[in-house]
């Protein structure tokens, strides 16, 4: 966006003024401030971007967006987000001033709620996640564990048991059918056998004779 | 001798059988040799090969454990295995029939085998039910044991889960819903009842047609585990840390703990599934002339080789898991240091952690010590040993979460466990059914499938105790006491019964009849002296060791002060009484039957006066005739 020289002058003046004021408001362990920690290399590896002034500007505007989302009536500006104590880690502190006033800070609780509400938007702006973009003191809302309407395990169970029961029934039916067939053929051959070997039935079967060889060793 | 007389013409025998109609049914036969071998191997290779052998290798140092293990295999496992297969094939009956044939006084050994097979089958199938539960849950993304559920107010995670780990929580709470004490029985967990019903249905389905259906099922159940173990091995070797696990597994421990001998002997004994009666039953369906010596060597060697192969697979995965844990520990420290000293992100990595740590410690020692960094040693992670259900359902499931494509690995793993257990269940069920048929208690008109169904139904009903809240503790009780001492006692009576009851000479003749050559001096020495002696020593040592310590169990008690560690509790008296019963009841039949038969024999000899030399008892009673026919 092309800025007119005038506006540029005014903004730089404002920034200088606010910077002077901000010295007192933003410091380490500020009462209504939060520490932010980014782990860009961990999250993105080779695709990691460098943390520059522009990125910081983006952060301030994103946070202003989050505050606006939370307090619909108030128009937060980038200048309301004051940043300090930046380290190579990348970590820094920030405080939020109320729009229109340079000295009153927005309460901690308010800031927290605003951030919570827009957390996923803030994360996605920087291509980070809850673990790699940390607001120290604001715990990420726990991801609800995935729930299913119909538990998948019952489906798996149903499939397996259906197959087994079908298999059991099939085996029973097939063996019953086989038995019937066997009985029919057996009846036919048995009649033949008795006719052929009728002579074997005549006379007395001498069981003792048959088994004698088994008894001899005794 | 029998072999000197020409065999009767078979068509004559067949006709005799048909006309008699008292049911000399043809004994079932294996379709081919491969089915028989696969069934025996499947029975021997079970869950213990995967989750007990690697654990023993680990705690004794693999290199050191293998030596006593191989010695026990050669002098105890193989002779007993050969003996069981030979006697079953020769006498062609199940366990009760075999021992009654050798001597009526030994009939109790068969009954003991039947009782032990039944009791072991109860809790073994419960473990399979647990495996099924995990299998059904492996089709979700993300896996349910990878995350904690929220507590009731949805403000934070469930406390029990947070204090321990999601994996532990899923096992103890969502699967078992375990109570804190064995005395507190809790209620029936409906989901476990459902899984138990499924497990028994699957066993029944495979067993409907007896060995006809079992023989076909083992083509899959006995071979699939090898496929999965290979896949896991290949996968694990591509993951970091696998070689650490393997090196750790095989490094011998310098400490010479004499208990390693006891553990090796018991491991080989239980691993081969001896004394259950299942092996006797399986070999009784063989043709009479079959080289059972080669079969025994094959089954024994394959069983041990599988244990070894499984431990290589398992330990590659455990090495990966340990490496993961070690890296996570280091990363935690890295983060603490980076955040505290406001160093740029990723300036400290796992690789240069040590240098950075030394540098910071030199420049700012007080600050570093105030950070309370964790001590990260790879050895501690490798030392986290687990066996049994702990290995499968806690340690391994945790490793699976870390592998890319977790669902596939979870499904493969649990199907492998299920097929390992299923093929062992076949042997257990066979050890129950065949003696029942031999005892001729069951009327012939009831088809075999119905008998199998009734046995499965009764087993399912009794095993519902393992679906209670305290079920896991009861499984441990059964596992520890039914599956140990009674088997050793039965095996001892088996070997002395065959060698001294039937006689070494008769047994050698049997083997000559079956294989065409007599057993060599090694087998004879083992059977007569070495193996019985080994068994006796192992039995005595085992009992002495058990008796020294008051039996206790690890309880999962969220209210325990040191939670998530398990609380060691002592068994109450009534449980102790049940333990004693479980050890005694299976083997009590051995002396009882012997005494009963002795009394019966004394009564008979005093009553009968005429010993008619022409009275060959052929006309007295038909069942006696059958007995002599088969001998």
Query: ∠ CA B213-B217-B219 to the nearest 5 degrees?
Result: 130
Last residue of a domain, one of A103, A136, A169: A136
Contact B14/A at CB under 8 A: no
pTM of the model as a whole: 0.82
The residue segments making up the domain with residue A195 are 152-214
Specify whether A129 is located in the same domain as A63: yes
Phi then psi for A90, rounded to 5 degrees?
Answer: -75, 110
Contact B209/A at CB under 8 A: yes
Q: Are B161 and B169 in contact (CB under 8 A)?
A: yes
**pLDDT tens by residue, B35-67:** 999 999 999 999 999 988 988 888 887 778 888
B271 annotated among ligand-binding-site residues: yes
Q: Do B147 and A145 touch (CB under 8 A)?
A: yes
The mean pLDDT value for A32-60 works out to 88
Which pLDDT belongs to residue A31?
81
Task: Report DSSP state, residue A97.
Answer: B
Contact A175/B at CB under 8 A: yes
Contact A203/B at CB under 8 A: no
Residue A9 lies in a domain: no
Specify whether A52 is located in the same domain as A88: yes
Residues of B in contact with A153 (CB under 8 A): 133, 136-137, 139-140
Which pLDDT belongs to residue B608?
62
Residue A21 lies in a domain: no
Contact A186/B at CB under 8 A: no
| B41 conformational bin, left if phi > 0, alpha if psi -120 to 50, beta if neither | alpha
Residue A19 lies in a domain: no
Q: Are B288 and B92 in contact (CB under 8 A)?
A: yes
- Tell me the residue length of chain A: 218
Residues of chain B below pLDDT 50: 1-24, 622-631
B303 annotated among ligand-binding-site residues: yes
Q: What is the CATH number of the domain that holds A39?
A: 3.30.70
Last residue of a domain, one of A86, A106, A136: A136
Residues of A in contact with B618 (CB under 8 A): 207-208, 211
Residues with Cβ within 8 Å of B391's Cβ and at least 6 positions away in sequence, in order, are B51, B54, B55, B314
Query: ∠ CA B567-B568-B569 to the nearest 5 degrees?
Result: 110
Q: How many distinct structural domains can be found in chain A?
A: 2
Residues with Cβ within 8 Å of B407's Cβ and at least 6 positions away in sequence, in order, are B138, B139, B140, B141, B143
B250 CA to chain A: closest CA distance, Å? Answer: 37
Specify whether A103 is located in the same domain as A30: yes
Instruction: Please tell me which residue of chain A has the smallest CA distance to B145.
Output: A145
B8 CA to chain A: closest CA distance, Å? Answer: 9
Specify whether A41 is located in the same domain as A112: yes
Residue A8 lies in a domain: no
Which pLDDT belongs to residue A88?
85
CA B222/CA B125 separation, integer angstroms: 17
Contact A215/B at CB under 8 A: yes
Specify whether A88 is located in the same domain as A34: yes
Residue whose entry in the numeric block shows the structure tokens 């398992």: B314
Structure tokens that stand for B455 in this block: 């046995």
Specify whether A111 is located in the same domain as A194: no
Specify whether A112 is located in the same domain as A203: no
* Collapsed DSSP state (helix, strand, coil) of residue B611: coil
Instruction: Please tell me which residue of chain A has the smallest CA distance to B8.
Output: A210
CA B410/CA A118 separation, integer angstroms: 37
Specify whether A52 is located in the same domain as A121: yes
Residue A3 lies in a domain: no
Residues of B in contact with A142 (CB under 8 A): 150, 154-157
Residue A163 lies in a domain: yes
Q: Do A157 and B202 touch (CB under 8 A)?
A: no
Which pLDDT belongs to residue B240?
87
Specify whether A121 is located in the same domain as A158: no
- Closest C-alpha to B167, from B197, B144, B133: B144
Contact A144/B at CB under 8 A: yes
B534 CA to chain A: closest CA distance, Å? Answer: 35
Q: Do B625 and A157 touch (CB under 8 A)?
A: no
Task: Report DSSP state, residue B394.
Answer: I
A177 CA to chain B: closest CA distance, Å? Answer: 14
* Beta pairing class for A91-96 and A34-38: antiparallel
Specify whether A125 is located in the same domain as A35: yes
Residue A17 lies in a domain: no
Last residue of a domain, one of A111, A136, A161: A136
Specify the DSSP element, H or E, that contains A154.
helix A152-196
Specify whether A124 is located in the same domain as A195: no
Residues of A in contact with B139 (CB under 8 A): 152-153, 155-156
CA B184/CA B469 separation, integer angstroms: 8
Contact B145/A at CB under 8 A: no
Q: Do A41 and B345 touch (CB under 8 A)?
A: yes
Q: Do A212 and B628 touch (CB under 8 A)?
A: no
- Number of other residues whose CB lies within 10 A of the CB of residue B183: 13
- Closest C-alpha to B114, from B139, B130, B95, B137: B95
- Closest C-alpha to A80, from A111, A120, A119: A111
Specify whether A174 is located in the same domain as A99: no
Residue A31 lies in a domain: yes
Is the confidence metric ipTM above 0.90 for this complex? Answer: no
CA B280/CA B282 separation, integer angstroms: 6
**pLDDT tens by residue, A55-103:** 999 999 999 999 898 888 888 888 888 888 888 888 889 888 888 877 8
Q: Are B309 and B229 in contact (CB under 8 A)?
A: yes
Which pLDDT belongs to residue B23?
40
Phi then psi for A15, rounded to 5 degrees?
Answer: -60, -45
DSSP one-letter string for B520-586: -HHHHHIIIIIHHHHHHHHHHHHHHHHHHSPPEEEE--TTSTTTTSPEEEEPPHHHHHHHHHHHHHH
The mean pLDDT value for A165-184 works out to 88
CA B302/CA B304 separation, integer angstroms: 5
């Amino acid at each position: 966006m092309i800025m007119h020289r005038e506006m540029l002058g005014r903004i730089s003046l404002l920034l200088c003024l606010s910077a002077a004021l901000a010295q007192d408001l933003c410091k380490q362990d500020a009462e209504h401030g939060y520490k932010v920690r980014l782990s860009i290399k961990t999250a993105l590896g080779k695709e990691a971007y460098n943390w520059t002034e522009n990125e910081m500007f983006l952060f301030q505007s994103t946070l202003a967006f989050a505050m606006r989302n939370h307090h619909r009536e108030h128009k937060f500006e980038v200048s309301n987000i004051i940043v300090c104590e930046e380290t190579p880690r990348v970590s820094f502190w920030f405080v939020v001033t109320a729009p229109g006033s340079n000295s009153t800070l927005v309460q901690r609780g308010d800031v927290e709620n605003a951030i919570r509400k827009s957390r996923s938007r803030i994360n996605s702006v920087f291509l980070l996640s809850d673990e790699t973009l940390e607001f120290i003191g604001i715990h990420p809302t726990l991801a609800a564990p995935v729930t299913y309407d119909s538990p998948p395990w019952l489906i798996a169970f149903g499939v397996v048991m259906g197959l087994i029961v079908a298999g059991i029934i099939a085996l029973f039916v097939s063996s019953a059918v086989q038995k019937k067939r066997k009985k029919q053929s057996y009846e036919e051959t048995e009649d033949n056998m008795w006719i052929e070997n009728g002579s074997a039935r005549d006379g007395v079967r001498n069981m003792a004779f048959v088994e004698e060889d088994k008894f001899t060793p005794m | 001798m029998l072999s000197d007389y020409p065999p009767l013409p078979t068509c004559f025998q067949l006709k005799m059988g048909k006309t008699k109609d008292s049911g000399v049914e043809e004994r079932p036969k294996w379709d081919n040799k491969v089915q028989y071998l696969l069934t025996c191997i499947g029975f021997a290779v079970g869950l213990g090969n995967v989750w007990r052998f690697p654990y023993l290798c680990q705690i004794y140092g693999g290199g050191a454990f293998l030596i006593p293990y191989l010695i026990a295999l050669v002098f105890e496992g193989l002779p007993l295995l050969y003996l069981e297969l030979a006697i079953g094939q020769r006498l062609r009956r199940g366990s009760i029939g075999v021992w009654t044939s050798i001597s009526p006084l030994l009939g109790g050994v068969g009954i003991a085998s039947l009782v032990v097979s039944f009791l072991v089958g109860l809790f073994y199938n419960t473990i399979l039910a647990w495996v099924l539960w995990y299998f059904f849950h492996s089709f979700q993304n993300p896996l349910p044991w990878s995350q904690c559920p929220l507590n009731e107010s949805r403000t934070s995670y469930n406390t029990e889960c947070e204090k321990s780990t999601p994996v532990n929580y899923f096992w103890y709470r969502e699967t078992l819903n375990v109570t804190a004490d064995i005395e507190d029985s809790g209620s029936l967990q409906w989901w476990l009842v459902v899984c138990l019903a499924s497990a028994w249905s699957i066993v029944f389905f495979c067993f409907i047609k007896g060995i006809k259906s079992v023989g076909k099922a083992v083509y899959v159940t006995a071979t699939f585990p090898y496929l999965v173990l290979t896949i896991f091995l290949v996968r694990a070797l591509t993951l970091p840390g696998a070689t650490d696990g393997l090196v750790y597994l095989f490094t011998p421990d310098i400490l010479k703990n004499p208990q390693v001998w006891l553990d090796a002997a018991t491991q080989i004994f239980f691993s081969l599934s001896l004394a259950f009666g299942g092996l006797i039953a399986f070999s009784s369906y063989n043709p009479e002339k079959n080289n059972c010596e080669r079969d025994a060597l094959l089954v024994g060697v394959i069983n041990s080789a599988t244990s070894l192969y499984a431990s290589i697979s398992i330990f590659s995965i455990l090495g990966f898991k340990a490496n993961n844990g070690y890296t996570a520990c280091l990363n935690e420290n890295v983060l603490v240091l980076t955040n505290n000293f406001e160093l740029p992100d990723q300036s400290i990595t796992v690789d240069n952690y040590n240098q950075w740590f030394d540098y910071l410690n030199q420049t700012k020692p007080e600050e570093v010590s105030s950070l309370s960094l964790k001590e990260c040693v790879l050895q501690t992670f490798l030392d986290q040993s687990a066996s049994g259900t702990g290995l499968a359902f806690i340690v391994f499931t945790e490793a699976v979460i870390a592998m890319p494509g977790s669902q596939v690995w979870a499904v493969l793993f649990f199907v492998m466990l299920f097929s390992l257990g299923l093929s062992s269940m076949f042997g257990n069920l066979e050890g129950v059914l065949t003696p029942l048929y031999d005892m001729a208690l069951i009327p012939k008109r009831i088809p075999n499938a119905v008998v199998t169904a009734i046995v499965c139904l009764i087993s399912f009903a009794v095993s519902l105790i393992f679906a209670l809240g305290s079920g896991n503790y009861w499984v441990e009780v059964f596992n520890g006491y039914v599956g140990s001492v009674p088997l050793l006692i039965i095996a001892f009576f088996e070997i002395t019964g065959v060698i001294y009851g039937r006689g070494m000479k008769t047994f050698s003749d049997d083997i000559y009849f079956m294989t065409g050559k007599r057993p060599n001096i090694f087998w004879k020495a083992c059977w007569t002296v070495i193996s019985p002696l080994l068994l006796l020593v192992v039995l005595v040592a085992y009992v002495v060791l058990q008796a020294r310590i008051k039996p206790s169990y690890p309880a999962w008690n969220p209210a325990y002060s040191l939670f998530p560690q398990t609380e060691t509790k002592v068994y109450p008296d009534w449980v102790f009484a049940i333990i004693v019963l479980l050890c005694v009841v299976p083997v009590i039949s051995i002396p009882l039957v012997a005494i009963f038969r002795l009394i019966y024999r004394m009564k008979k000899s005093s009553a009968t006066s005429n010993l008619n030399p022409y009275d060959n008892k052929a006309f007295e009673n038909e069942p006696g005739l059958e007995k002599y026919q088969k001998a």
